[in-house]
Amino acid sequence: MRTVVRNMFVNGRLLLAAVFCVASFLFQPTASLWAQGQATFASLNGTVRDQSGALVPSAMLTITNPEKNFSRTFSTGADGSYVFALLPPGTYTLKVTATGFETYMQTGIELAVAQTATQDIALTVGRMTQQVTVTATTQLLNTSNANIGSEVTARETSELPLNVRNPFYLVTLNSSVNNSSQSQALSAGVPSVEQADASFFNFGGSIFGGTAFLLDGHWDATWDWTGLAYVPGVDETQEFKIQTNAFTAQYGLSMGNVLNAVTKSGTRELHGDVFEFLRNSDLDANNFFNNAEGISRSQFKRNQFGGTIGGPLYIPKLYEQRDKTFVFGGIEGLRESSPYTFIGTLPTADMRTGDFSALLGSQIGTDALGRPVIQGQLYNPFTTRTITAGMVDPVTGLLASQSGFIRDPIPGNQLQSMINPTSKLLEAYYPNPTSSALANNYVFDRLNRFLL
């Protein structure tokens, strides 16, 4: 069982970033600052004009996130421009007021992780008591920098099917991402490890280790093999962004690719969920190898369960600020029993007594002494000796045709007199073959159990 308590917010993630920065200075005095606080924040900018296109100075803009009671105010200058920087990803409402103009209100502004959005505003002449309300229905454009990326939204994370419920597997929605050969080689025949498997994706043709992983603004990679250090659960993940090729200066330590993820946070209202995902063998077909050996279908069960909860940090008579500090936590467990078929070779009943004659086949040649070489013939290792071309072998009286080492065959592959007593005792611990074949004659079906 793993427990995750993440994302304490004080006006966004400023407290977490500050603590991480201080820890970096204290414990890595010779290293650069690893926290990338600006990397997860979004920004909104634009220009305020009237209906004729003239710039509107001294317009008051207020951007608000109702869920977190978060708001900021900005006044346009002579050029009519505004910039809201360091905004936590979320849904915002923008209000604009100016003397001689109707109040402008735009709701449903979705700002994603590391997004730089541009929204130009046109005010209508009228009284400030009148209001024009706009509901955002289209994606905001980025006209401020050359960052290239694609986003995986909270809706996609929660609604798209995921085999092992690892949200980072959704990176393949980006056409530049593919699974690397290292993952295919290391994952063959072993249980899936979510963090390891997700680390082997190639972004934009880069090699393994060339992608920077960011989680809530700090590096999420191990320093030994540059793989993912932690993968948040699906219900913990708010969204993430795949940034490729070129990006602004706050990103680094990569060959041109960044996976930038943010987790959910608490809000003014208490909220949460519980989940249970079940897979079992009731509707599965038997596998090919079991059918070939007459083995019945194995039992497979996978239970992935947990829950999340978030809300304001409220401690009666001690800390009662419902609108300033938020907490969010999640817990997730996994219980899995998956079938595994082992195919191997074990000694037959005759071999247990020392009779290996079943291995003998036809003649395939002659040795240096002119004796026939039989396929499957066993040789006595204690008779190893040197022979010289043109000399008579003193053991067999045969003339050697070449120099080297030679051994004598065991007649009829009968080893009864050569079996070691200790080996005879160990024989009792070997299972019996499941078929009469000489090779691959043992098939065993078992369950691999995995707990997390």
Q: What one-character-per-residue DSSP string does 140-159 give?
A: PB--S---EEEEE-HHHHHH
Calculate mean pLDDT across residues 379-400: 95
Count Cβ atoms within 10 A of the Cβ of residue 193 and give its class: 0-12 exposed, 13-18 middle, 19 or more buried: middle
Could you give the CA distance from residue 103 to residue 124 in angstroms, rounded to a whole number? 8
Domain ranges in the chain are 36-135, 146-264, 349-430
Pairing relationship of beta strands 60-65 and 90-97 according to DSSP bridges:
antiparallel
In 147-224, which ranges are E strands? 148-152, 177-179, 201-203, 211-215, 218-219
- Asked whether the predicted pLDDT for residue 16 surpasses 50, the reply is no
| DSSP label of 298 | P
Q: Is 64 helix (H, G, I), strand (E, B) or coil?
A: strand
CB atoms within 10 A of CB 407: 14
Q: Average pLDDT over the chain, rounded to whole? A: 81
The per-residue pLDDT for 123 is 94
Q: How far is CA 142 from CA 8, 89, 195, 215, 258, in A?
A: 30, 15, 32, 23, 18
- Asked whether the predicted pLDDT for residue 93 surpasses 80, the reply is yes
Is the pLDDT higher at 140 or at 48?
A: 48
Q: Which of 162-166, 316-320, 429-433 has the highest mean pLDDT?
A: 429-433
Q: Which CATH architecture has domain 146-264?
A: Beta Complex (2.170)
| DSSP per-residue letters across 120-145 | -EEE-BS-TTSEEEEE--SPPB--S-
- Type of residue at 425: L
Helix H or strand E encompassing 393: none
- Cα–Cα nearest to 213, from 196, 197, 229: 229
Could you give the CA distance from residue 117 to residue 109 in angstroms, rounded to a whole number? 10
Rg (CA), the chain: 35
Structure token digits, residue 185: 């080689």
* Cβ neighbours of residue 1 closer than 8 Å, sequence gap 6 or more: 331, 333, 452
- Phi, psi (degrees; rounded to nearest 5) at 118: -120, 130
Calculate mean pLDDT across residues 170-198: 61
Residues in the chain: 452
The per-residue pLDDT for 144 is 67
CB of 350 within 8 A of CB of 360? Answer: no
This model's pTM is above 0.75? no
Could you give the CA distance from residue 199 to residue 213 in angstroms, rounded to a whole number? 9
The per-residue pLDDT for 147 is 66
Over residues 123-168, the pLDDT tens digits come to 999 887 777 787 765 567 666 666 667 888 878 888 888 877 888 8
CB of 374 within 8 A of CB of 363? Answer: yes
| DSSP per-residue letters across 318-343 | TB--TTTEEEEEEEEEEEEEEEEEEE
Could you give the CA distance from residue 396 to residue 369 in angstroms, rounded to a whole number? 9
CB of 147 within 8 A of CB of 114? Answer: yes
CA 302 vs. chain centroid, Å, equals: 18
CB of 243 within 8 A of CB of 149? Answer: yes
Count Cβ atoms within 10 A of the Cβ of residue 295 and give its class: 0-12 exposed, 13-18 middle, 19 or more buried: middle
- Phi, psi (degrees; rounded to nearest 5) at 365: 160, -165
Over residues 192-246, the pLDDT tens digits come to 455 566 777 877 777 777 778 889 888 888 777 777 888 888 889 988 888 876 6
- Asked whether the predicted pLDDT for residue 44 surpasses 60, the reply is yes
Q: How far is CA 287 from CA 281, 284, 340, 437, in A?
A: 11, 9, 10, 21
The per-residue pLDDT for 145 is 66
Calculate mean pLDDT across residues 379-408: 95
Could you give the CA distance from residue 136 to residue 371 in angstroms, rounded to a whole number? 91
The per-residue pLDDT for 6 is 36
Q: Which CATH architecture has domain 36-135?
A: Sandwich (2.60)
